[in-house]
Amino acid sequence: MPRKLSAITETPAQTIATATLRVETHGAGFSDITADARAFVTESGARDGVLLVFLRHTSASLTIQENADPDVQTDLITALDRLAPENAPWVHDLEGPDDMPAHVKAMLNGVSLHVPVSGGALALGTWQGLYLIEHRRRPHTRNVIFQFIGNRA
């Protein structure tokens, strides 16, 4: 199948802008942070570059996923629960039966994302959103670092 690479554009990095988003989760599930990321990009005056998103925790994770049908999130949680069930014979269980599975799920999904910023906007696909996934049953306070590297408008 033929492929065609677009023209290469170059932009010198003029700025690094950083902020921390505090997210109060409601227990296991998805928290949409797309609007927060967009607001950060706008408030930082970003034009072209990359948004780095980093979660400072080991029992929650970040993902880019479909934002149109909430059934996708339900199915993804079900799939992760199958991959790392609470009733497995985990050795690390001091923090409860949901802790070690949460670490495995975070390892599978990861705790960092990068999103291109073009013309001052996140270059996400039509149905893509940025999500923090809480893997613990109880609510937690999670810190997400947004960092834009690029040039300003």
DSSP code for 41? H
- Residue whose pair of structure tokens reads 């880019």 in the numeric block: 64
- Res 52 pLDDT > 80: yes
For the stretch 118-145, pLDDT in tens is 999 999 999 999 999 999 999 999 999 9
Q: Strands, E, within the chain: which ranges?
A: 15-24, 29-32, 46-55, 60-66, 112-118, 121-122, 128-134, 141-152
- Res 13 pLDDT > 90: no
- Percentages (nearest 5) of helix, strand, coil residues in the chain: 25, 40, 40
Q: What is the dihedral of CA 152, 120, 118, 108, to 10 degrees?
A: 100
Taking the C-alpha atoms of residue 81 and residue 83, their distance in angstroms, rounded to an integer, is: 5
Q: Residue 55's closest CA among 14, 111, 121?
A: 111
- pLDDT the model gives residue 2: 86
Superfamily of chain region 26-152: YjbQ-like (2.60.120.460)
For the stretch 98-117, pLDDT in tens is 999 999 999 999 999 999 99
Q: Compute the average pLDDT of residues 26-40.
A: 98
- All structural domains of the chain with their residue ranges: 26-152
**What is the pLDDT of the chain when averaged over all its residues?**
96
Q: Strands, E, within 39-88: which ranges?
A: 46-55, 60-66
Predicted TM-score of the model (pTM): 0.93
